[in-house]
Amino acid sequence: MPKTIKQLREQRDALAKEARNILDKNTGEYDADRVDEIYAEIDKIDGKIKREQQQLDLEARLQSEADDPDTPAPQNGGRQRQERPGDEARSLVFDAYVRGGEAAVNRLPENVLTEYSRQVRNAQSTGVDSEGGYLVPTTFSGVLLEAMADYGGVRSVADVQSTSTGESIQWPTTDETAEEGEWLAENASATDGDVSFGTVLIGAHLASSRVVTIPFALLQDAAVGGWDQMMARLLSARLGRTTNKGYTVGDGNGKPTGIVPGAGLGHTTAAGLVDSFTWDDITDLEHSVDPVYRRDASWMFHDTVLKSAKKLKDLDGRPIWVPGVTSEAPAEINGYGYTVNQDMAEPAAGADSMLFGDMSKYLVRDVMDITLFRFTDSAYTKKGQVGFLAMLRTDGKTIAANNAAIKKMRHAAA
C-alpha cells in the first residue's frame, strides 16, 4: 500500500536526523557511504512528496469545483488575494473581454464600465483598452507574478517593488559596510555623516509573452472551467523565463541589468579549474562578502553546479550539502540556503557560475499590473482558437553600492 505524505515526511525526517547524528560524531571518522546513501534516499522521498502533494492539490481543486461550480478555487497556494478598490469592476470587464472580446465588454452595465474606466485612468497610461489591451485584475495578475517566480529564480529572492506609473526612478544606494557612528565628549555636537550615497536608475522595460492560444470551448461555455488556469500557466511560464533571463544576465539595453553583471568579482578559481571547483573555492567566495551582508546571504547557481556541490566534502570529509532536518526546512551548502537558476552559466572557462550574498539587494521593479491583448483574426479562428498576448513593464538592478552585497565566482580562463 502506498505511503501517505505524512508517512513519507516521517521517513524523510528520520533519515535526515540519522545523517546529522552520523556527521556530529566527535571521532573525526564516519560512515561516508551510509551518509551518501541517506542523501540519495532523501532526494527520492522529496520527489515523491512533491508529486503526491501536487496530486492532492489537483483533487482538492476538482472537488471544490464539483461542490460549487460557481465559486472558483483559490489559485496561489490556497490563499485568496486581496483585491484593490475597483478590482470587482476590472474582474467583470476582464472576464467579458477574455470570453467575448470588446463586443462582450460593451454589453456590460454602464456603471461597471464607468468604474473600470476610472480605475484605468488611475493606473498606468499605456496598454489600456483604447489601445486594444486590458489591465488584468489584481487577483489574476498576482497569480501570474507569483507563478513567474517558479520559472526563474531571481524574482523569488529579490526585493520586488510595484509602482503605479512607469517613469524612471532614482533609487538610493549606499555601502553598508562603511556606515558607522562616533563617540562624543560631554556637551559635544554630533557631526554630519560622511557616508557617500549614490543612486541607480530603475526604468520599466517591456516584456512580452508572445501570443498563446486558448480553445474557444474553454472561453465561450461558462460551464466549462479551466481557461484561467491554462492561461495563467502559459503566460507565467513564458514571462517568467523571459524576465528571469533578463534579471540574471541582462545587459540593461532594453532589458534589466542582470544580477550577475551587477555582482562584484569575489573569487577566481585556480588555473586548470575551468569547468570545476573545490570546497576551497566556495569558502573563498563566501568570505569575499562582508559579514554584514552574510547575515541574510544565500547561493545562486545552475543545477549542474548543485550536482557538483552535492559531491564535495570539507577538510574533514563531511559533505558540504546538507538536507533540511525536516521536509519543510531548506537544504544548505556550507550553512547557507541556495536558489537554482537555470539562466546562470554552467562551469566553463571564464564563466561566472556562482553567486553568493544578500540577494534582496537586487531590486525588481514592476509597473502595476500585466496588460492582456486578444486576437481573433482568421489565423486563429479557423483553428477554433483565440490568441492572447501578455505584456509586463519591469526592470531590475543591484542597488547595493560598490557591488559589495553580492559576489560572483569566475572560472579560470582556458
- Hey, where are the domains in the chain? 5-67, 83-178+197-302+341-414
Q: All 3 cell numbers of residue 398?
A: 543591484
Looking at residue 263, its pLDDT comes to: 96
**pLDDT of 195:** 53
Between 90 and 410, the more confident residue is 410
Q: Is 144:239 a contact under the CB 8 Å cutoff?
A: yes
For the cut 80, the answer to whether the pLDDT of residue 32 exceeds it is: no
3-state class of 176 per DSSP? helix
Confidence (pLDDT) at 126: 41
Position 63 confidence tier, pLDDT thresholds 50, 70, 90:
low
So what's the pLDDT on residue 288? 97
What is the mean predicted confidence (pLDDT) over 208-232? 78
Strand 298-301 and strand 338-340: pairing?
Answer: parallel
Per the prediction, the chain carries an average pLDDT of 82
What grid cell was written down for 259? 544580477
The per-residue pLDDT for 221 is 67
* pLDDT above 60 for 69: no
| Domain range 83-178+197-302+341-414, CATH architecture | 2-Layer Sandwich (3.30)
- Residue 317 scores a pLDDT above 80: yes
Q: Is the pLDDT of residue 205 over 90?
A: yes
Cα(73)–Cα(68) distance, integer angstroms: 9
What mean pLDDT comes out for the span 39-52? 80
Return the pLDDT at 362. Answer: 96
Query: How much is the average pLDDT of 131-141?
Result: 73
Distances (CA, A) of 32 to 55, 117, 319: 35, 66, 9
pLDDT band at 192 (very low <50, low <70, confident <90, very high): low
* Residue 228, C-alpha cell as written in the block: 484561467
Give the rounded percent of residues in the chain with a pLDDT score beyond 70: 83
DSSP strand pairing (159-163 vs 362-367): parallel
**223 CB contacts (<8 Å, ≥6 apart)?**
69
Instruction: Give the residue with greater pLDDT, 141 vs 375.
Output: 375
| pLDDT 10s digits, 75-118 | 333 333 444 445 678 788 888 888 888 888 888 888 888 877 77
Match 486594444 to its residue by C-alpha cell. Answer: 132
Distance separating alpha carbons of residues 333 and 322, to the nearest angstrom: 6
Q: Cβ(221)–Cβ(133) under 8 Å?
A: no
In this predicted structure, the answer to whether residue 401 has a pLDDT above a threshold of 60 is yes
pLDDT band at 10 (very low <50, low <70, confident <90, very high): confident
Spacing of C-alpha 107 from chain mean position: 39
Q: What's the grid cell of residue 69? A: 461550480
Q: What is the DSSP letter of 113?
A: H
With cut-offs at 50, 70 and 90, classify the pLDDT of residue 261: very high
Beginning with the edge strand found earlier in the chain, give each strand of the sheet holding 352-357 in spatial order: 264-268, 406-410, 352-357, 298-301, 338-340
Q: How far apart are CA 302 and CA 151, in angstroms?
A: 13
Tell me the whole-structure pTM to 2 decimals: 0.77
Q: What Å distances lie between residue 285 and 153, 339, 398, 403, CA to CA?
A: 20, 16, 18, 14
3-state secondary structure of 367: strand
Main-chain phi, psi angles of 324, to 5 degrees: -60, 145
Q: Which pLDDT value is given to residue 128?
A: 41
Give the model's pLDDT for residue 314.
87
Give the residue ranges of DSSP H helices in 68-169.
87-106, 110-121, 138-150, 154-157
Chain mean position to CA 1: 37
Give Rg (Cα) of the chain.
25
Sorted by sequence, the CB contacts under 8 Å of residue 153 that are 6+ apart come out as 244, 248, 300, 339, 340, 341, 342, 343, 344
d(C-alpha 58, C-alpha 51), whole Å: 11
